Amino acid sequence: MQTAYTKDELRAFLAPMRGRRIVFVPTMGALHEGHATLMRQARSLAGEQGVVVSSIFLNPVQFDNAGDLAAYPQTPEADLEICRTCGVDVVFMPTPDVMYCADRSMVMEENHLSTVLCGASRPGHFAGVCLVVSKLFNLVQPTDAIFGKKDYQQLAILRRMVRDLDIPVQLHGAEIVREADGLALSSRNVRLLPQHRAAAPQICRSLRAAAAAYAAGSAVESVRESVVSALSAIDGVRIDYVEIVDAETLHTPVCDNRMALLAVAAWFGEVRLIDNIELVRA
Ligand code: PAF
């Protein structure tokens, strides 16, 4: 496995690979089994002839909260070991100075899907994601890229970006990877206090119960309310949002003949957790 610290090193590695399938998994580091699953999927998609590229870059531009950026775990040695064991061919690890010009003045704004859910509570977050992902796509020029469905809104916005800007890459959404007790894997989970870690699987339990109720025909508002009351009952938890939206537009109303999305964001102490589940009528 190669490590590229500069754009030139990355380009030099990839130049002889053009024409092959190049599968890309962008990350911000602090890798866990969720990322490892994406990388193994990338390896199998690329096959023996293809190339798997990953990036580890804690993108300051997508953080709306300086404290969250400062507290974000960084584990570069362990990250590289995970990339190696998952069959990644090259890891791009730039610093912010390598990635961005000091006087950069471009913005990348999506202004429909980004106005709701996490976009409503984290102003500028998705513009930062779109900026960095479009730069990474330009550098790597992948044929395929894989993103986890835990960040469902991010995936929907990136699909829109690729569609609207004619970026020649195929995006793949990977299922959420969970702990045995249901908690969705996240780099932020290590920051949970023990009492919050113990309570956090309640998110997944309430989502699964809600999906079953929705499938059985319960009304949208009562399904949503069931999650709100399950989470409100937990000590020290503050709900950011619990919403049921159309899975493609991320807006309401939801139609019975289209897939819906139940999405949750909640603060467990100082840590903001997100999770979601797709809803279909049986
Ligand atoms: O999902 C993430 O880890 C980040 O938002 C991404 C896509 C790597 C962009 O920084």
Whether the CB of 151 sits within 6 Å of ligand 1: yes
Residue 107 lies in a domain: yes
For residue 281, the model assigns a pLDDT of 96
Please indicate, yes or no, whether residues 62 and 198 belong to a single structural domain of this protein.
no
Question: Does 129 contact ligand 1 (Cβ within 6 A)?
Answer: yes
pLDDT at site 255: 87
Catalytic residue among 32, 35, 125, 196: 35
Residue 11 located in a structural domain:
yes
Do residues 161 and 208 both lie within one domain? no
161 lines ligand 1 (CB under 6 A): no
* Residue 256: predicted pLDDT: 85
CA count, 13 A, side-chain hemisphere, 171: 21
Residue 29 Cβ inside 6 Å of ligand 1? The answer reads: no
Amino acid type, 204: C
What torsion do the CA atoms of 69, 73, 77, 83 make, to the nearest 10 degrees?
-90
Using alpha carbons, list the distances in angstroms from residue 113 to 120, 127, 266: 10, 11, 20
The Cα–Cα gap between 55 and 59 comes to 11
Whether residue 84 lies inside any domain: the answer is yes
Residue 33 lies in a domain: yes
Identify whether residues 107 and 212 lie together within a single domain. Answer: no
- Who's near 215: CB < 8 A, 6+ residues apart? 279, 280, 281, 282
Same domain, 111 and 246: no
CB atoms within 10 A of CB 107: 11
Token readout for 98 is 């390598």
> Domain boundary at 111, 141, 174, which?
174
Catalytic (active site) residue 112: no
- What is the residue whose two structure tokens read 């299922």? 175
Residue nearest to atom 6 of ligand 1 (CA): 27
Q: Is position 134 within any domain? A: yes
242's tokens: 């619990």
Picking from 119, 152, 174, the residue at the C-terminal end of a domain is 174
**Around 9, how many Cα atoms within 13 Å sit in the side-chain half-sphere?**
14
Query: Residue 153's domain is classified under what CATH number?
Result: 3.40.50.620
Contact 82, 35 (CB under 8 A): yes
Say whether both 257 and 161 belong to one domain.
no
- The reported pLDDT for the residue numbered 162 is 98
The domain that contains 195 carries what CATH number?
A: 3.30.1300.10
Structure tokens at 140: 């790597």
Residues 200, 169 share a domain = no
> Which atom of ligand 1 has the smallest separation from the CA of 26?
8
Backbone φ and ψ for 240, nearest 5 degrees, come out as -85, -55
Domain assignment present for 181? no
The residue ranges of the chain whose pLDDT is under 50 are none
What range defines the domain where residue 68 resides?
2-174
Residues 273, 14: Cα–Cα separation, whole Å: 36
Domain contains 46: yes
Looking at residue 191, the DSSP 8-state letter turns out to be G
How much distance in Å is there from the Cα of 87 to the middle of ligand 1? Answer: 20
28 vs 129: CA distance, rounded Å = 11
Phi, then psi, of 159 in degrees rounded to 5: -60, -40
| Final residue before a domain boundary, out of 115, 143, 174 | 174
The reply to whether 150 and 32 lie within a common domain is: yes
Q: Is residue 182 part of a domain?
A: no
Domains contained in the chain, number: 2
